[in-house]
Amino acid sequence: MANVYVSGTWLYCLCWYLLTCSTGAAAASNSFPSTVEFDLIFPRNNTKYAPGPLFPFVFAIQNSQHAAALHPYLSYRAWRQDDYDGTLDEGKLDLTWANFSGSDPFFSYTGNHFSNVSKVEGTWVLAWETNVINCSHRSDEIGNGPKERRKPTLVIFTLEQGGQPPDLVASTQHGICDQDQEITTYTYNLTGEISDRIFGDNMAHRNSCAILSPTLSSSHPPANPCAVKIDSVIASSISAAITATECSGSLHPVVSCPVQKAATGRAGHFVTDGAIWFTVIFSCLTFILA
């Protein structure tokens, strides 16, 4: 009987905890105007780096609790300056499904296979841009999302033997983080959000859409890239995540991957425990939303 009482107590406490968190989140979401800032953390402009098998591109999103309403994604292209067609590497970091509630700033990153290029050393160009949804524009195009795309900015860096290794911690230090803001930051001034389900481009899961101030360049809020700080723990976590993505998503990874261990008996307990917690949380959410 004692076990039932303890479980009920934990359920009661957890429900109140979730209720408090949800109330706090709702209050935070109503704080406008609010600036969401996208920062290119790495690489830095006019910097010489040592080439490596996975060269990181790292971005940060500040005031990330409001980023979900922007339905954002980042697109990039990188190429060696003297050989665009032969070295082009491009991609998109789709954040429309991202969970921005976990931390602020929110980091997004990818590793690039410059080692696959026959000649990796040289001057490289990184062009990146932000793409968001702006529900200030109410028109027939709302069904596909009223997109707002910023003009790409270009960052120039060099890869050559003897260059410095990638250092995310140093990239956020004063004297470095505040350089070249016109090409390493984008800011958006949110004046509000509306409850609107945006369809198209896999965005139907979001129930809010940002209202932005007029998009004249003079109205963009000032950037504050030095507010982002990366310590050794965060840097190691980002590096490990890039490596894990390469190891799980590539048939021929360009990095050393850990040996997969056989499942143990504990895994069964993990599934069982996870199922119990899922039931508890689902019950709490049902109670909160009732």
List, as one string, the DSSP characters of 34-98: EEEEEEEEESPTTEEE---SSEEEEEEEESGGGGGGG--EEEEEEEETTBHHHH-EEEEEE-TT-
Query: pLDDT tens digits, residue range 205-260?
Result: 677 888 888 755 556 789 999 999 999 999 999 999 999 999 998 888 989 998 87
**166 assigned to some structural domain:** yes
**130 assigned to some structural domain:** yes
Give pLDDT, residue 154: 97
Please state the domain count of the chain.
Answer: 1
Question: Can you tell me the distance from the alpha carbon of 150 to that of 169, in angstroms, rounded to the nearest whole number?
Answer: 28
Segments forming the whole domain that contains residue 163: 34-249
Query: pLDDT tens digits, residue range 90-144?
Result: 999 999 889 998 889 999 999 998 877 778 999 999 999 999 988 886 544 444 5
Torsion of CA 121, 122, 125, 126, to 10 degrees: 20
**285 assigned to some structural domain:** no
**23 assigned to some structural domain:** no
Give pLDDT, residue 250: 85
Q: Tell me the average pLDDT across 182-194.
A: 93
**14 assigned to some structural domain:** no
Give pLDDT, residue 149: 77
Q: Tell me the average pLDDT across 196-210.
A: 63
**170 assigned to some structural domain:** yes
Question: Can you tell me the distance from the alpha carbon of 82 to that of 87, in angstroms, rounded to the nearest whole number?
Answer: 9
- Domain at 133, CATH number: 2.60.40.2550
**133 assigned to some structural domain:** yes
**273 assigned to some structural domain:** no
Structure tokens at 198: 């945006």
